[in-house]
Amino acid sequence: MRIPTLRAGLATTAAVAAAVAGLAPSVVASAAPQSGSRPLVPCSSDTREGYSHCMSRFRAPSPAATDRRPDGYLAADFRSAYKLPKGGGTGTVAVVIAFDVPNAEKDLAVYRKLNGLPACTTANGCFTKVNQRGEKKNYPQPDGGWALEGSMDLDMVSAGCPTCKILLVEADDNYNDNLAEATRTAWRKGATVISHSYGGGEYGGMWSFRDAYEHAGAISVASSGDFGFTAAGSPAVFRTVLAVGGTSLRKSGNARGWDEDAWWGSGSGCSAYVPKSWVQKDKHCQMRTVADVSAVADPDTGVAIYDTYENPFGIPPGWIVGGGTSASAPLVAGMIGLAGNGATYSNATPYRKPGAFFDVIGGSNGMCGGDYLCTAKKGYDAPTGIGSPNGLTGL
């Protein structure tokens, strides 16, 4: 079924309708599938214009999980699913986050040790934490939801690139101008890959900070969103940013050993502001389409993360199950770091090398009459983009 050309703001899903009505994303999410007795909770639901919210969902682990075998996928699972080598690039991958992640280095050490990854500490020069001005002091106030998000970002970058250095840049808060300044600090300090697990709606004021995300010599990798087929948002929508959607990843008896479908929450949509680049050939959006690529994001299976800072969700500290495109974006950012191509990588690369990705077919993130804008089909589709990484050839 062919549908008319879509523009951001067209009320095609319950999520868009709720957004128009001014409802918080958490209200929209309540209609989506849940994890039985382990409900999903969103990282934040700030819908103010000019502010971003983090793109993640969390749940408590199952009763059978232990500290030796946490609930959720670990680094070895990602290496198997995406055919990754254990080592590679040694450059710097930056994680930009709002607010402070107080236990970042300590918690990261636990995650890396259990996963058999080399230590990444301040002492050995692998881990650096700064505020948005680049200072190793005067950190912002912590926020439990964003701190949990930050821990997941650091863990996923580590899983994607065990040999990379990690730079954590903490914005004063989730105001877009502050997140943009933190991003500028990241590339000024030498990061060639920068992960952004946050986003907000498009608006005219976003042009004032676009430069932070479209810097030559560094690729910005951003979450596409967690509310399904709605409308594109910044920073994922910017023309040279790599927008990462989400998949449901499960072990399988097929040749790959894994099966992937579009995750129901994977953000996709058409921009109302940003023109298409020449590599995007899809026909039903006149402007930029999100997403470009994808990776595991479904919290119903989830990724294992470690965080000990008190969170607002009542989930006990320690091993927690996370998901959302806040998991897929830093994981892909780490993979680009592993390939060592951050300084020259372009979000056009996947479109030129579709054979270097697993084509995700099946699953939907909304209602669009079965169109590629909300349904994972052969070739490009908006929920999963070109597909998920198959080794490092496309990265």
pLDDT in the model for residue 39: 59
Residue 21 has pLDDT above 60, yes or no: no
Among the residue ranges 2-6, 89-93, 377-381, the one predicted with the least confidence is 2-6
pLDDT in the model for residue 5: 36
Look up the CATH number of the domain holding residue 165: 3.40.50.200
Identity of the residue numbered 321: V
pLDDT in the model for residue 253: 97
Q: How many CB atoms lie within 10 A of CB 248?
A: 23
Residue 36 has pLDDT above 90, yes or no: no
Total domains present in the chain = 1
pLDDT in the model for residue 3: 35
295, β-bridge pairs: 246
pLDDT band at 38 (very low <50, low <70, confident <90, very high): low
Among residues of the chain, what percentage have pLDDT more than 90? 86
pLDDT band at 47 (very low <50, low <70, confident <90, very high): confident
**Averaged pLDDT, 237-242:** 98
Tens-place pLDDT, residues 325-368: 999 999 999 999 999 999 999 999 999 999 999 999 999 999 99
Q: How far is CA 317 from CA 44, 103, 119, 151, 314, in A?
A: 18, 11, 22, 12, 9
Residue 14 has pLDDT above 60, yes or no: no
Does the pTM surpass 0.85? The reply is: yes
**Class of residue 373 by CB neighbours under 10 A (exposed 0-12, middle 13-18, buried 19+):** buried
In order, the DSSP letters of 193-259 are: EEEE-EEEE--GGGGGGHHHHS-TT-EEEEE--SS-BS--EETTTSTTSEEEEEEEEEE-SSSSSEE
pLDDT mean across residues, the chain: 90
Residue 213 has pLDDT above 60, yes or no: yes
pLDDT in the model for residue 40: 67
Residue 388 has pLDDT above 50, yes or no: yes
Residue 57: domain span: 14-19+44-65+72-389
pLDDT band at 377 (very low <50, low <70, confident <90, very high): very high
Q: Is there a domain that residue 237 lies in? A: yes
Tens-place pLDDT, residues 267-321: 999 999 999 999 999 999 999 999 999 999 999 989 999 999 999 889 999 999 9
φ, ψ at 338 (rounded to 5°): -65, -35
Q: Is there a domain that residue 36 lies in? A: no
Q: Is there a domain that residue 122 lies in? A: yes
Q: Is there a domain that residue 198 lies in? A: yes
Q: Is there a domain that residue 320 lies in? A: yes
Higher-pLDDT residue of 52 and 37 is 52
Tens-place pLDDT, residues 70-122: 999 999 999 999 999 989 999 999 999 999 999 999 999 999 999 999 999 99
pLDDT in the model for residue 29: 32
Q: Is there a domain that residue 262 lies in? A: yes
Q: What H or E segment, with its residue span, contains residue 165?
A: strand 165-171
pLDDT in the model for residue 204: 94
Q: Given 3-state DSSP classes, what are the helix, strand and coil percentages for the chain, each rounded to the nearest 5?
A: 25, 25, 50
pLDDT in the model for residue 291: 98
Residue 266 has pLDDT above 60, yes or no: yes
pLDDT in the model for residue 45: 73
pLDDT in the model for residue 17: 30
φ, ψ at 33 (rounded to 5°): -55, 145
Q: Is there a domain that residue 89 lies in? A: yes
Contact by Cβ (8 Å): 203, 176: no
Q: Is there a domain that residue 176 lies in? A: yes
CA–CA separation, 156 vs 318, rounded Å? Answer: 16
CA–CA separation, 268 vs 292, rounded Å? Answer: 10
Contact by Cβ (8 Å): 381, 370: no
pLDDT in the model for residue 382: 98
